[in-house]
Every structure is written in structure tokens, then in C-alpha cells.
């Protein structure tokens, strides 16, 4: 049985808003976390760079596609990964949820 990785990531407000509303269905990141793979999950925590604090808003997305430099060397720089993502609904993370505590 394969266990997929959950990546805990900061997400700036402008991008978080678009992901959590379903407008943005992709994520571009440095490929520096031991590898992103299809069927992994991204636990996105909204991060305010001005205050350098988490806002408390979170969203969970599933990675459904991964494209790297080796797949498209003329279009994706080395060390960067492009991921197609699907916004998940769940009792724990329902689109955007404010973490209490």
C-alpha cells in the first residue's frame, strides 16, 4: 500500500485566495522538498509576508499532475516543478477553514 506525502506549505494571500476559491488549479514551486508526486497532498497555510505570520486560513489540495524540467526542458527551468492541483472538501478542511487555537 502506497502512502502519499502531505507537504505543509506557506501560501501568500493573493495565491491562497485564488486556490481556495477554485480559480487557480496549478502550483509552481521549487522542487526542493524531496520530490512532489502525483497523488501527494499540499496542506496550504495562508502566510502574510508583511507580518510574517500565518493568518489561520488553510486549504488542502491533491496533486493530480506533475511536470518538471525533464518533461519540458524548453519551458520549465531546472529545479522548478509545475503541479496541477484539485481543491478538496473535507470536514477538517472545508475549502478555507480558520484554524482555532
Could you write out the DSSP letters of every residue in 36-91? Answer: --TT-EEEEEEEETTTTEEEEEEEEEEEEEEEETTT-TTTS-TTEEEEEEEE-B-S
How many CA atoms are closer than 13 Å to the CA of 47, on its beta-carbon side? 10
Across the chain, mean pLDDT equals 87
Structure confidence by residue, pLDDT tens digits, 41-77: 999 999 999 999 999 999 999 999 999 998 998 999 9
Rounded to whole angstroms, the maximal C-alpha distance in the chain is 46
* Domain boundaries along the sequence of the chain: 6-90
- Read off the pLDDT band of 91 (50, 70, 90): very low
Choosing among 2.30.130.30, 3.40.50.170, 3.40.50.10540, 1.10.565.10, the CATH entry for 6-90 is 2.30.130.30
* Sign (positive or negative) of CA dihedral 21, 26, 30, 34: positive
The 10 Å Cβ neighbour count of residue 82 is 19
Amino acid at each position: 500500500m502506497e502512502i502519499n506525502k502531505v507537504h505543509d506549505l506557506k501560501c501568500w494571500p493573493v495565491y491562497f485566495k485564488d486556490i481556495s476559491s477554485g480559480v487557480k488549479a496549478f502550483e509552481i514551486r521549487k522542487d526542493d522538498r524531496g520530490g512532489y508526486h502525483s497523488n501527494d497532498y499540499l496542506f496550504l497555510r495562508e502566510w502574510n509576508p508583511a507580518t510574517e505570520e500565518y493568518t489561520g486560513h488553510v486549504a488542502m489540495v491533491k496533486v493530480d499532475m506533475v511536470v518538471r524540467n525533464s518533461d519540458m526542458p524548453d519551458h520549465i527551468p531546472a529545479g522548478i516543478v509545475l503541479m496541477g492541483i484539485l481543491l478538496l472538501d473535507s470536514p477538517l478542511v472545508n475549502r478555507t477553514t480558520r484554524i482555532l487555537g
